[in-house]
Structure 1
């Protein structure tokens, strides 16, 4: 007989019993809780995936090869044809382009083909009972139970990814409460069923609520001039398109930098990779997923769905991404080099990128913030 999964050093059933008191105190009905949680079981595989996700790294070019493959573009164009009327109505209502909504749909569930088959309540209960992020996942589990209270879903409807995201566009339960809308007018906000209309409308509503500006681009590929000062790259430096054009930056087709308001230049693979100009709508997409690769994937897939060309810039395909442990070592080396306020969390965010650029500049290297094994080795030698 397999040993029971132990979380927080207490049996799972004991955690459920203690959570029941907290859930009822938060307004979850007794009948709803007991019926929903009766079939909930701990999922050891969820804990393993949660522990291992930080070790999963991909270069941006490997990610984009899959995210914006020819097959995904072709499937997306067919999906947009099938649901063209719904997407047009959603764009008119929420101001988010149909291609952006479809691109998120494509990346999150391959246009509804792979919505996930993990029991959401069991996944969230497993993660809430665990000690790594208990408060976040308890909130999500409470929100999932509250969905059942509305009568807009049954426990059997709540299926999705191992981390609790659900439906065509992988909403977390709190996002459903905050942003889900009834796109097809049937009185339910059904993001789980075969008809994607509610999920697509909810995604547009989510982006609109998180700062999407109608009529502005997310970004575009650009070409940087010889001698460009790479200390100007990164989200903390903004200039107008005209200012970037005056510095020699050009659109990929050779024209001026596209209009779109204050913009930043990003070089996710350093000076040897493709470069992008990004606008405020890039940050709106970050509210869905903070990874630059994801946001660029959504934006570029949307451009391809609209008939745009593949990226023209190349990638340093001989490189590999750093592992979790290597990113920790990188940050430790930077701190040892004098960047005392740097957090040691393996996240290559704006603070780490800024530290890398300043260190590179001090060593006479191209200050592009690019992270690869050679950079870590150079830091070790110094």
Structure 2
């Protein structure tokens, strides 16, 4: 997982990118010019020599950056890989082990310790795997490639500043192929903004110092706008006949309004009446769990823009302190859609006389609206979810 408030490659991408010819000699020529630019911006020649020693064009990084996923994982496929029994148990053990330190972070930044442990688990399996790609080489490769050169040149410059400040040696500066680093997977620019030298070692060490890791995460989440007195969300139950179009993760109402519509907590208890706004989110089809999510859910998404990621972090944090599992489980017909199957679904919706726009294999708002319209016409629960089950229904009705 890549923290960095960056990108989660969890579905088909909207770009069609044909890379120009890449060569080691062209890369080295580009590197000479970049080093001149970096020196003009305050990076010393000594730092540049040290950082770019034995740096080459990394073809593996280019392959990973250009790879377009062949299928879109369902909510359950993502969630069940993220919130595992091992992560829950290990998270509980580490939460108890580091509770005194976590309390310090909570007092300073207002972030409950269970969330720090949950992010830590999601990002690097509690520090078990922080990535082994040399950061300078990966960022230089992505900076040289023209597709996102501006973004990655800024990150490469930030990484050089981290080295120049004496925080870590280049040979130890390893992380994900996209440049995320340390046990909390900060991109270099976020490192410069939010990393904290909590153990007063003179270095902000997100690889080896848990003090620095916990305080840096706390500082980051606090700056992103975490509300100290609020939870992230709650699983709820919908009344029969509820308009599922409201469960879009965008429609916001007060808790009292949701309660008046007949929503209850998942265990059947009444919704608490608090002066809070909440959005209703159905991440799967009508058979899946439904959540009321609060402001802090949006804060989690500023770390990683995926709803599934944010739900996994929130639920893992809950399970770490002994709260109940979800009331729903994946159905037997839970199955990924390939890009070609998604295109087929869009084409079949068009055959049914429903406008989906271009059949591009991307399940955007227009496709979900079209699915909901078709479901309504057929008397099906109108969840708008692009499932393999829905594709099968379209096939059967058009055979």
After TM superposition, the score normalised by the length of structure 2 is 0.85
Residues 185 and 378 of structure 1, relative CA distance in 2, 3 Å threshold? same
SS at match of 1:116: coil
Residues 334 and 151 of structure 1, relative CA distance in 2, 3 Å threshold? farther
Q: Does 1:251 align with 2:265?
A: yes
Q: Does 1:145 align with 2:160?
A: yes
Partner of 2:312: 297
Partner of 1:122: 137
Partner of 1:52: 67
- Residue 370 of structure 1: how far off its partner (Å): 1.0
Partner of 1:176: 191
Contact 1:157 1:192 (C-alpha < 8 Å) held by counterparts: no
- Residue 70 of structure 1: how far off its partner (Å): 1.2
CA distance in 2, matches of 1:362, 1:232: 18
Q: 2:239 aligns with which of 225, 229, 237?
A: 225
Q: Which has the higher contact order (CA 8 A, sep 6+)?
A: 2
Q: Does 1:161 align with 2:172?
A: no
- Residue 54 of structure 1: how far off its partner (Å): 3.2
Residues 84 and 230 of structure 1, relative CA distance in 2, 3 Å threshold? same
SS at match of 1:243: helix
Gaps spanning 5+ residues in structure 2: where? 1-19
- Residue 77 of structure 1: how far off its partner (Å): 1.4
- Residue 241 of structure 1: how far off its partner (Å): 1.3
Contact 1:269 1:316 (C-alpha < 8 Å) held by counterparts: no
Contact 1:8 1:129 (C-alpha < 8 Å) held by counterparts: no
CA distance in 1, matches of 2:35, 2:344: 42
Q: Does 1:19 align with 2:34?
A: yes
- Residue 349 of structure 1: how far off its partner (Å): 5.6
Gaps spanning 5+ residues in structure 1: where? none
SS at match of 1:236: strand
Partner of 1:277: 292
Residues 320 and 263 of structure 1, relative CA distance in 2, 3 Å threshold? same
- Greater mean deviation of Cα atoms: 223-232 or 182-191: 182-191
CA distance in 1, matches of 2:359, 2:168: 41
Q: Deviations over 1:152-211 (max 9, x none)?
A: 221123111111111111111111012112222333221111x32211211121111112
Residues 50 and 243 of structure 1, relative CA distance in 2, 3 Å threshold? same
- Greater mean deviation of Cα atoms: 22-31 or 176-185: 22-31
After TM superposition, the score normalised by the length of structure 1 is 0.88
CA distance in 2, matches of 1:170, 1:79: 19
Q: Deviations over 1:319-351 (max 9, x none)?
A: 2222345556667887994466x89683x5666
SS at match of 1:11: helix
- Residue 91 of structure 1: how far off its partner (Å): 0.9
Q: Does 1:86 align with 2:86?
A: no
Contact 1:7 1:131 (C-alpha < 8 Å) held by counterparts: no
Q: Does 1:69 align with 2:69?
A: no
Partner of 2:146: 131
CA distance in 1, matches of 2:83, 2:135: 28
- Residue 108 of structure 1: how far off its partner (Å): 0.6
Q: Does 1:238 align with 2:257?
A: no
- Greater mean deviation of Cα atoms: 77-86 or 294-303: 77-86
- Greater mean deviation of Cα atoms: 16-25 or 146-155: 16-25
CA distance in 2, matches of 1:325, 1:146: 44
The number of aligned residues is 375
Contact 1:267 1:274 (C-alpha < 8 Å) held by counterparts: yes
Residues 10 and 90 of structure 1, relative CA distance in 2, 3 Å threshold? same
- Residue 222 of structure 1: how far off its partner (Å): 1.0
Partner of 2:282: 267
SS at match of 1:238: strand
Q: 2:330 aligns with which of 303, 312, 315?
A: 315
- Residue 235 of structure 1: how far off its partner (Å): 2.1
Contact 1:42 1:122 (C-alpha < 8 Å) held by counterparts: yes
Contact 2:250 2:280 (C-alpha < 8 Å) held by counterparts: no
CA distance in 1, matches of 2:304, 2:90: 22
CA distance in 1, matches of 2:219, 2:320: 21
CA distance in 2, matches of 1:330, 1:26: 51
- Residue 22 of structure 1: how far off its partner (Å): 2.6
SS at match of 1:237: strand
SS at match of 1:132: helix
SS at match of 1:17: helix
Partner of 1:216: 230
